[in-house]
Amino acid sequence: MNKADRLNKLLPNGRGVWIPIDHGASDFPIPGLTDTEGVIKSLVAAGVDGILAQKGVVSHYQNLCEGSKTSMVIHFSVSTRHAGPDAANKVIVGHADEVIPRGGIGVSCQVNMGSPNEAAMIERMGQLSREALHHELPMFGMVYARGEHLNPIEGDHTQCNAHAVRLAFELGCDAAKTVWTGDAESFSAIATAAPIPVLVAGGPSTGDSRGILAMVRQALDAGASGVCMGRQVFAHSQVEAIARALVMLVHQNATVDEAMKACNL
């Protein structure tokens, strides 16, 4: 399988439902990830395209994805809640040459733009991008515009989120994660900031199925190519149902009502 094949598996027709479950490395115990195997089985049953996880999780559970449409991406960035002022400094904990042997088909990396350690994280993303290129692996960028040194250009109604997507693209990422900015106009500016798929994040868990799906529907209509949504899914009381509803929105262009009815939400 070459890079194009792997990318098409993760983003069929350029669209994707990706569920990150890497949170346990940074924070634990947290709702939804105390039964990691159960969560992964639910996500596979729902037909999500990608599960993003740390390399140990991928090695241990990749067999659950065998024979399904779901693939695993290794997220190589880590910090923990115990690092004090260094908690936003995401370090790289592996190499792209581990991905295939561990059962993954892509790499993921995080940069906290505007943080004191931004330069080091950018350098790490650039290095991982180089490794991914030589191993024919898709690369995903989680670039968050949330550091204390953010310096938005005057008139930037995306609050640096368009710049974050652009940075991911310019560093070689094949897709990027962004946040819902609350309105179609600003989100459209983010979605068109780079010629790569932009997936919308979910934020903290709310358990509000209609609210989650309504936000995703608005983001899709404003130019998102899918979702990269963790806590809103793995901490949901109906993991498989909410994941299946997201698949319907992204891949079948369903309405919120159609998805909720079909998935018994």
Two structure tokens written together for 125: 């993303």
Q: Look at strands 198-200 and 175-178 and give their pairing.
A: parallel
Please name the residue that has the structure tokens 């880590």. 78
Based on the residue annotation, tell me whether 9 is a catalytic residue of this protein.
no
End-to-end C-alpha distance for the chain, whole angstroms: 37
Closest C-alpha among 14, 39, 22 to residue 242:
39
Pairing of strands 226-228, 16-20: parallel
Burial class of 258 by CB neighbour count within 10 A (0 to 12, 13 to 18, 19+): middle
Q: What's the rounded Cα separation, in Å, for the pair 34 and 28?
A: 8
Catalytic: which of 22, 55, 61, 90? Answer: 22
Pairing of strands 77-78, 139-145: unpaired
What is the C-alpha to C-alpha distance for residues 252 and 233, in angstroms, rounded to an integer? Answer: 19
Tokens of 224: 């998102």
What angle separates helix 184-191 from helix 209-221, to the nearest 10 degrees? Answer: 60
| Both tokens assigned to 79 | 């910090």
Angle, CA of 170, 173 and 178, to the nearest 5°: 90
Out of 55, 61, 90, 144, which one is annotated catalytic? 144
Is 177 known to be catalytic?
yes
User: Could you tell me which residues come within 8 angstroms of residue 175 by beta carbon, excluding any fewer than 6 positions away?
Assistant: 10, 11, 16, 138, 140, 141, 196, 197, 198, 199, 225
Cα 173 to its chain centre, rounded Å, is 12
Is 183 assigned a catalytic role?
no
- Just list the catalytic residues: 22, 144, 177
